[in-house]
Structure 1
Amino acid sequence: TGALDSDTGALLLDAAELDDVSAVVLLSVLFAVGPLLKQPEGAAILVPALKAGAIQLLLAALFSIACYLFSRWLEKPLSDGFAELSPTYGPIVLATGAAFVIASMAEFMGLSIAIGALFAGLAFSRDPAERNIDEAFGVLLTVFGPFFFVAIGLSVDTNLVSGAVGLAAALAGMAVVGKLLGAGFPAAVMLGWRQGALIGFSMVPRAEIFLLVMLFGLTLGAWAVPQALYNAAVLASIVTCIIGPVIVGVMLRPTEGNAI
């Protein structure tokens, strides 16, 4: 709709980024606490879970500080040095190598590669040459990005899909209502109903983080995420990724007397 560079588009993008950052922090806590939830009946899990969650939050905070310091003090000098070696490919080589290193450090700390990848992107977002780096990464994304969804699809049991439609509809409905109430309503109070509705519906699509959580639960076993629930979650993700963009696209489409 051509609204990305408008004030409304910038607001939606900023809200989505804050949503992702908060989600990956909670995801890191889940990765630490999740395996502890399977304990013998009657076992005390509250204290170990709180301890594991607190440690994970501390690690996430330290990792965030390290990424900020890299972004603030090291990224620009290193990028300039690599640019002197090769103006065309130097910064891209640095960004690619640093992304792998940062993501690997996050995995080593128990924060997951996904969290490290997000913070690697944030570390380079201050660079004025970020757009060129982003375009170069677009090639890698085209090649490797689909493999994440291949893994999601391979984990679906097609024999149980038909039986998961009802549960998928319920999950999709709650996904829509949850975002409209949790994000859209507070925004509407501050910005008016139209902006609130835009923010709410723009948050509706549940993709990477949602599917990462479900896949993680599936790997823990049926006690955490049964196969039927995982199948329903994948179907719900597809539905939300259609509903959100369609509604937001309609609301952003310029109409007579209503400029973006």
Structure 2
Amino acid sequence: MDFSVTTVLLQLFVVFLLAKIAGYLCRKIKVSAVIGEILVGIIVANIFLYQWLGFDTDPGYMDVLEVLSELGVIFLLFSVGLETPFSDLRKVGKTAMLVAILGVVLPFIAGFAVIMFLYNNQAEALFIAAAMVATSIGITARVIGDLNLTHRVESRVIIGAAVIDDVLGMIVLAVVTGIAVGGESANVIDIVSSVGLGIVFVILVIVMGSMILPKIHRRRQEEYRQKCACEGYEPVRKSPRASNPFILAIIVCLGISLAASYVNLAAIIGAFLAGMVFAEFKEELPCEHEVQSLNQFLVPFFFIYVGMQVDLSAFNAETLILAVGITLLALATKFIGCGLGARSLGGKSAAIVGIGMAPRGEVGIVVATLAFSTYGLITPSLFAVIIFMSMATTIIAPPILTWLFRKKIESETLEKPEGTTG
């Protein structure tokens, strides 16, 4: 069969339209659109649509969707990085740091121990543990923003800890990937060199990106202002002569992602770092709106592709029991670990922080896809388990967080004299 552009267009049209409809319906019932997009992928792959759309035929129609999904996850992590400026790591206090560390260590140890006990497979255990480490800063921030509670100390701790958690999660993912891909041949020297190379790469991106990008922008802007002064007209805020932050963002995102892959890190780590660099200069290099528009097109293909990797036949009784168990473990370890880190705020506030850090969302799904599709290091059953856990924590945590916040505010209203604020 010859490769048909018409077939590709039909496939993209159908799955994209279905994903947008599902996302809209999910938002109407106050559930993340990500859930709808994944469900569309699962449905398409497990009913007649998979054959009708020609995904089961050669040559490589699934490859087109896979490429779009890879670009989608790269720009997804870039946009997550845009919400995570390096300066935020310096501003958060000891509480947020402790919350983040305990919220990484406890889930990682628990996830690794359970899978090693059940299957005695190091690579599977490492990736399950890495997926349990994640916190979806986007989902948590959305809930807090919708409640108009960004000013509260619990919110600041959650967001600050989630920022640190993202960075620690990427470091964990880099280390886990190095160890797991190395397999039996990985020794201490290999692991140390891999981690060392990753650290050097991260430092170089931070230092060079933080110094070079703003200098280029300021020089271009100064040249433009001088030209305006010489020609006798006022400079405008946006002009063809001024640098285009969006174009620069795409170049840097793709370039650093490529460089990360060359040093045996996941390309998404490079994309995340590129986003953090740009986040440092949001005022000088605004590109969030354009990146968000690009993500509206590309990112759904990633979640659709993720859903299409889920084989419903893999959900036998044993897998379902494991999925529920891992989900409960993921919720409990984040709640306990992050709650312990925030215990200085009081019991109710610690509970809010613990639940606020629980959603794994897209970050856990990214780890699962990397392990399953890219490296083939976990089974379809375990892939389905991680997807289930990521989706379930994303659905369960936000309503609980909302309830805990409201109960805390109600108790403060009863305890404080009229006219005071909490």
TM-score by length of 2: 0.54
Q: Distance in 1 between matches of 2:189 and 2:363?
A: 24
Letter in 2 for 1:226: T
Decide whether the 8 Å contact of 2:334 with 2:358 is kept in 1: yes
Identity, % of aligned positions: 23
The equivalent of 1:198 in structure 2 is: 352
Residue aligned with 1:257, SS: helix
Matched, 1:23 2:169: yes
Structure 1 residue 16, shift from structure 2 partner: 0.6
The equivalent of 2:92 in structure 1 is: none
The equivalent of 2:270 in structure 1 is: 116
Decide whether the 8 Å contact of 1:71 with 1:126 is kept in 2: no
The equivalent of 2:328 in structure 1 is: 173
Q: Distance in 2 between matches of 1:18 and 1:119?
A: 13
Matched, 1:95 2:233: no
Aligned-CA RMSD value: 2.4
Change (3 A) 1:74 1:172: same
Per-residue deviation, residues 88-128 of structure 1 (Å, max 9, x unmatched): 77122212221111111111211111111111111111214
Moved more, 18-27 or 75-84: 75-84
Q: Distance in 2 between matches of 1:87 and 1:8?
A: 44
The equivalent of 2:156 in structure 1 is: 10
Q: Distance in 2 between matches of 1:171 and 1:211?
A: 14
Structure 1 residue 6, shift from structure 2 partner: 4.3
The equivalent of 1:42 in structure 2 is: none
Alignment of 1:13-52 (within 5 A): 13-37=159-183, 39=184, 48-52=186-190
Letter in 2 for 1:66: L
Letter in 1 for 2:193: I
Q: Distance in 2 between matches of 1:87 and 1:2?
A: 39
Q: Distance in 2 between matches of 1:177 and 1:87?
A: 54
Alignment of 1:126-141 (within 5 A): 126-129=280-283, 132-141=286-295
Q: Distance in 2 between matches of 1:225 and 1:200?
A: 29
Decide whether the 8 Å contact of 1:103 with 1:114 is kept in 2: yes
Q: Distance in 2 between matches of 1:128 and 1:233?
A: 34
Matched, 1:73 2:211: yes
Q: Identify the match of residue 183 of structure 1 among 313, 322, 338.
A: 338
The equivalent of 1:252 in structure 2 is: 405
Unmatched tracts of structure 2, length 5 or more: 1-146, 225-238, 415-420
Residue aligned with 1:111, SS: coil
Matched, 1:241 2:394: yes
Residue aligned with 1:110, SS: coil
Moved more, 112-121 or 65-74: 65-74
TM-score by length of 1: 0.85
Per-residue deviation, residues 11-32 of structure 1 (Å, max 9, x unmatched): 2111111111101111111111
Decide whether the 8 Å contact of 1:32 with 1:110 is kept in 2: yes
Letter in 2 for 1:257: T
Letter in 2 for 1:24: M
Decide whether the 8 Å contact of 1:82 with 1:94 is kept in 2: no
The equivalent of 1:158 in structure 2 is: 312
Letter in 2 for 1:252: F
Q: Distance in 1 between matches of 2:353 and 2:242?
A: 38
Structure 1 residue 246, shift from structure 2 partner: 1.4
Tell me the number of residue pairs that the alignment of Structure 1 and Structure 2 aligns: 249
Q: Distance in 1 between matches of 2:153 and 2:243?
A: 33
Q: Distance in 2 between matches of 1:9 and 1:145?
A: 27
Q: Whose relative contact order is higher, 1 or 2, with alpha carbons under 8 Å and at least 6 apart?
A: 2
Matched, 1:58 2:196: yes
Per-residue deviation, residues 137-188 of structure 1 (Å, max 9, x unmatched): 1111111111221221121112223533221110110001110122221221
Q: Distance in 2 between matches of 1:217 and 1:74?
A: 34
Residue aligned with 2:287, SS: helix
